[in-house]
Chains A and B, each alone.
Chain A
Amino acid sequence: MLGRIVFFLCLPSVLAAQLCKPNAAEGFKVRLSIKTALGDKAYEWNRNQRFLFQAAIAFAMSHHLELEFNVSNILVCDETPRVSFWFVVTSPGDPSRLVGKESVELAVRESRSRINNILLLNDATLEFVGVLPTLTAPVKPATPSWLIVFGVVIGMVGAGIVFLLVSTVVQKKRKKNEVAEEEDDDEEAQMKRTAGNEGIYNTSFSEYDRNTQM
């Protein structure tokens, strides 16, 4: 009786050991680079952190397949000091059956950023070997920003050119008017002189002394 109880108690862990092994067909290798990601604030990888990882994967599976996964459905094995390990996911209905690799991959990809955030890591430091990171395309605004800057520069330069050209034309016109005025003034002065008494009398030679002083 005792033997059977012990057998049944050991069965799950034995089964687990058989289900989860390195290079398992339905398993994934995970590598964590905690010190690279967090530097001084790096946490120690221990049982609790592993528990958190299992919970995160369970969340991802539940979210993707809309079934209720438990932490015990995520089996972890072959841990190394690198902090790398293998994990497999068992089906919630039948713990001896593994969930297919494709479903696990899709689930992980769907919730990747969430899993990263939970463990305070990113795509590079939390590596699921074989799962491609989802690439975010660079944000492209409607008008490329360079066109805006180009427009501003061309606008300013164009305004500068127009201003300089207009000021040249205005200066020339002003000069022409001044010269024309000077000419007009000269002519007027001449005409006034020749017009007789109404003219401006040039007093420089008007010493009214008929005889020159000796």
Chain B
Amino acid sequence: MKLKLKLPNPGLDDRIPSHGDLERMEKDEAGDRPQWDNKAQYLLTCVGFCVGLGNVWRFPYLCQSHGGGAFMIPFLILLVLEGIPLLHLEFAIGQRLRKGSVGVWRSINPYLAGVGIASMLVSFLVGVYYNTIMAWIMWYLFNSFQDPLPWSQCPLNANRTGYVEECARSTTVDYFWYRETLNTSTAIDESGGLQWWMVLSLIAAWTVLYVCCIRGIETTGKAVYITSTLPYLVLTIFLVRGLTLKGSTEGIKYLFTPDVDELMNPSTWLDAGAQVFYSFSLAFGGLISFSSYNSVHNNCEQDAVLISIINGCTSVYSATVIYSIIGFRATQKYDECFGDNILKLMNAFNYPENNITQSNYNEILTHLNNTSPDVIQGLSLQICDMQTFLSQGVEGTGLAFIVFTEAIIEMPISPLWAVLFFIMLFCLGLSTMFGSIEGVIAPLLDLKLLPRSWPKEVISGLTCFASLALGLIFALRSGNYWLALFDNFAGSIPLLVIGFFEMISVVYIYGMDRFNKDLEFMIGHKPNIFWQATWRVISPLIMIFILIFYFVTQVTKELTYLVWDQEAESFPTLAERYYPQWVYVMIFILAGVPSLAIPVFALYKLIQRKCCKKDYDDSTVDTISAKIQMSDKMKL
């Protein structure tokens, strides 16, 4: 029994090109719509967009904290039931309607243009803060061309008697990150001033992005040959290097040791679903745009499955690499901790060297504790626990800029590994930014907000400049806290909302029957029962679940953030603070405005229709025949 639910949608045929039109457009030159040079460019661009920093620094952490190898089960299940169908949907609808996100949703129904506008806003906001992370990566990259690396040493204090207090109490990598890179303040309302070195790094990041995006996919299509393939090469190099280091297998074991009990925990499934969704860069509008440059009969089904598999495998592969290095670092710290304790014992009791080793440490300690407990007390020996070291700060910027950099300074030829690592992160982030920029520019062109005569270079330049201007907020001393705010709110709930509306629009407003026929026309066969079931029922349900759970957890939990505060008791661990009241306004702007763009725009369109009663409908202006350009030859 087929689900015959379909909302009325008059005038749809006038707004979209028919199959005949598509065939004709295929045969003639595409006109002013850009095209991919070859299939490889398209695939590399999509892979680059999907595979990003999240694969390197979010997935490994989730894997390890939600039961290691057991996390693969919810991840794979949700990949298949949520990721692949949504991906296929975006590819197919872009390829069929041959427009950017705003154009696609407006073609389906003029009231739905808000979905495209929401995508554009989210792409813009995410692009602004994501490129700031790129600026940080570039700053570290610039600083990697020296030996010894600047984050391996503490600077001396004023009278050269010791190290700077902040550095001595924490670690060199912490100091370099929080003080010399961010120069962070102690609260989000203490904005400090603009840090000139950060502004320079931001300028560098945006100009590199501009030069790659200057002519749209014409230039990005060339850039992705490098930015999408280099990370894999570097990951392999790091894997080989990591496996030869002491303790790497500890890390890998820690990562993949399954804890099946975690599967009972609903937050595991929630995190897996969210990770699949964000990892695929869905709802940004970039994937729809990229697919619209394809030829009509491109096999988007195959592409969706292929890219999903590549994305999943990359996540697992990079998790292995990251954790082999983390295992090495943890072993180093463990040995160091032990070494410290042994040295203290040796010095206090005058044991000859190498008498106390890690193996007989415990028995000697108990013996000494019995004979002279007060001396032992005075020594303040630390407890060395491998598990603690393995679970330290291993996600997000903490992983890249603190934990991994610390591991790198222990490796021989550190500058080489630092350069390789940051180039890899840079390429991963840059290829994701291509999709983000595309998700902003294509709707701008569709909405006709800018004059047609302006060349593409100017439009991309303006976008980059506007984003740079807004991004200066992250170059303040409190920039890191702003970024965490953006990351938590601009890039989470709005995307889920948009993704959900995308599914509903295509399945129930565009019509599943029509969509099936389109796919049959494009790829030659009707999508099978798997696609039908997931598109109609399973994926929307999963999206709704994730959205509701996410919303509930965000709303119920207290809004706190972590600060680097020397005066705090927990220093050098980050201290928790409450957000000031005005942050709620910011959160509303970041999360609410894109999400509300959908109903607000629909309302606006409704009011426009009702009050400005004109003779012609908007839809007639959007017909294909109105767009056919008279070629020059016919003028004579």
With CB as the reference atom, state the residue of chain B lying closest to A159: B211
Query: In the complex, what distance in Å separates the CA atom of A84 from the CA atom of B348?
Result: 11
In the assembled complex, the Cα of A31 lies from the Cα of B347 at a distance in Å of: 8
For window 63-98 of A, CB contacts with B under 8 Å fall at: 80-84
Bound-complex Cα distance A45 to B128 (A): 63
Chain B, range 325-352, C-beta contacts under 8 Å to A: 343, 346-347, 350-352
Q: Which of A133-156 contact B (CB under 8 A)?
A: 135, 137-138, 145-150, 153-154
Q: How large is the interface on B (under 10, 10 to 19, 20 to 34, 35 or more residues)?
A: 35 or more
List residues of chain A with CB within 8 A of the CB of B203: 154
A19 to B200, CA, bound (A): 64
* CB pair A161 B156 closer than 8 Å: no
- Assuming the contacts A132-B161, A146-B142, asked whether A164 and B351 have C-beta atoms less than 8 A apart, the reply is no
Please, which residue of chain B has its CB at the minimum distance from the CB of A187? B636
Report yes or no: B457 in contact with A165, Cβ–Cβ below 8 A.
yes
With a 10 A CB-CB cut-off, give which of B146, B160, B354 has the most chain A CB atoms. B146
Check if A145 sits within 8 Å of B457, measured CB to CB.
no
Whether the pair A158, B160 counts as a contact (CB closer than 8 A) is no
Contact partner of A83 among B138, B201, B352, CB < 8 A? B352
- Besides A35-B354, A149-B142, 13 other A-B contacts (C-beta < 8 A): A84-B350, A138-B148, A145-B143, A146-B139, A146-B143, A150-B142, A150-B200, A150-B201, A154-B203, A157-B204, A161-B210, A161-B211, A168-B457
- Tell me which residues across on chain B come within 8 A of A35, comparing CB atoms: 353-354
Are B153 and A83 within 8 A (Cβ)? Answer: no
Contacting pair A186 B636 (CB below 8 A): yes
Enumerate chain B residues within 8 angstroms of A153, measured Cβ to Cβ. Answer: 138, 142, 204, 208
Asked if A36 CB lies within 8 Å of chain B CBs, one says yes
List the B side residues contacting A84 at CB < 8 Å. Answer: 347, 350
CB distance from A162 to the nearest CB of B (A): 10
The chain A residue sitting closest to B152, CB to CB, is A138
Query: Which of A146, A147, A148, A160 interacts with B211 by CB under 8 Å?
Result: A160
CB distance from B356 to the nearest CB of A (A): 11
Q: How far is the CA of A179 from the CA of B346 in the complex (A)?
A: 89
CA distance A150 to B205 in the complex (A): 10
Name B207's closest neighbour in chain A (CB-CB).
A157
Q: Please tell me if the beta carbons of A82 and B350 are within 8 angstroms of each other in the complex.
A: yes
Nearest first, the 10 A-B pairs at minimum CB distance are: A146-B142, A80-B350, A81-B352, A82-B350, A35-B353, A149-B142, A160-B211, A145-B146, A146-B143, A157-B207
The yes or no answer to A62 lying at the interface (CB within 8 A) is no
What's the minimum C-beta distance from A55 to chain B, rounded to whole angstroms? 23
A residues near B160, Cβ cutoff 8 Å: 135, 137
Any B CB within 8 A of the CB of A126: no
Given A168-B455, A168-B457, A179-B632; A82-B346 close (CB under 8 Å)? yes
> Is A56 on the interface with B (CB-CB < 8 A)?
no
- A-side interface residues, number (CB < 8 Å): 31
- Tell me the chain B residues, 202-242 only, with Cβ under 8 Å from chain A: 203-204, 207-208, 210-211, 214-215, 219
Is A111 part of the binding interface, using a Cβ–Cβ cutoff of 8 Å? no
B146 contacts across to A, CB distance below 8 A: 145-146
B137 CB to nearest A CB, Å:
12
Cβ of A67 to closest chain B Cβ, rounded Å: 28
Please list the residues of chain B having a beta carbon within 8 angstroms of any beta carbon in chain A.
138-139, 141-143, 145-146, 148, 150, 153, 155-156, 160-163, 197, 200-201, 203-204, 207-208, 210-211, 214-215, 219, 343, 346-347, 350-354, 455, 457, 632, 636
Smallest Cβ-Cβ distance to A150: which chain B residue: B142
Task: Tell me the bound Cα distance from A64 to B259 in angstroms.
Answer: 65
| B353 CB contacts on chain A under 8 angstroms | 33-36, 82-83
A-B contact pairs, 12 of them (CB 8 A): A34-B353, A81-B352, A82-B351, A82-B353, A137-B156, A138-B150, A146-B146, A150-B204, A153-B208, A158-B207, A161-B214, A186-B636
Give A154 to B199 CA distance when docked, in angstroms: 13
Q: With A135-B156, A146-B139, A150-B142 in contact, is A164–B346 under 8 Å at CB?
A: no
CA distance A165 to B163 in the complex (A): 50
Q: How far is the CA of A31 from the CA of B211 in the complex (A)?
A: 60
User: Count the A-B residue pairs with Cβ separation under 8 angstroms: how many?
Assistant: 83
Q: In the complex, how many angstroms separate the beta carbon of B195 from the nearest chain A beta carbon?
A: 14
In the complex, are the beta carbons of B351 and A154 less than 8 A apart? Answer: no
Shortest Cβ distance from A190 into chain B, in angstroms?
A: 9
Are B207 and A149 in contact, CB atoms less than 8 angstroms apart?
no
- Whether the pair A157, B354 counts as a contact (CB closer than 8 A) is no
Which of chain A's residues 160-174 have a Cβ closer than 8 Å to chain B? 160-161, 164-165, 168
* Residues on the B chain within 8 Å of A36, using CB: 353
Contacting pair B346 A154 (CB below 8 A): no
Distance (Å) between the CB of A92 and the closest chain B CB? Answer: 31
B214 touches which of A132, A147, A164, A186 (Cβ 8 Å): A164
Q: In the complex, what distance in Å separates the CA atom of A150 from the CA atom of B148?
A: 19
On chain A, the residues within 8 Å of B636 by CB distance are: 186
Question: Which residue of chain B lies nearest to A134 when distances are taken between CB atoms in the complex?
Answer: B160
Query: Cα distance A149–B145 when bound, in Å?
Result: 8
- When distances are taken between beta carbons in the complex, the residues of chain B under 8 Å from A81 are 350-352
- Residues from chain B with a CB closer than 8 A to the CB of A31 are 347
With A and B bound together, what is the CA distance between A147 and B347 in angstroms? 46
**Bound: A136/B544 CA distance, A:** 60
A105 to B308, CA, bound (A): 67
Considering residues A84, A132, A145, A147, which has the most beta carbons from chain B within 10 angstroms of its beta carbon?
A145
Among A80, A146, A148, A154, point to the contact of B207 (Cβ < 8 A).
Answer: A154
Taking CB atoms, residues of chain A closer than 8 Å to B138 are: 153
Shortest distance from the beta carbon of B143 to any chain A beta carbon, whole Å: 5
- CB neighbors of B among A99-126 (8 A): none
Instruction: Establish whether residues A138 and B215, one from each chain, have CB atoms under 8 Å apart when the complex forms.
Output: no
CA distance A146 to B176 in the complex (A): 14
A157 touches B347 (CB 8 A): no
Chain A neighbourhood of B354, CB < 8 A: 35
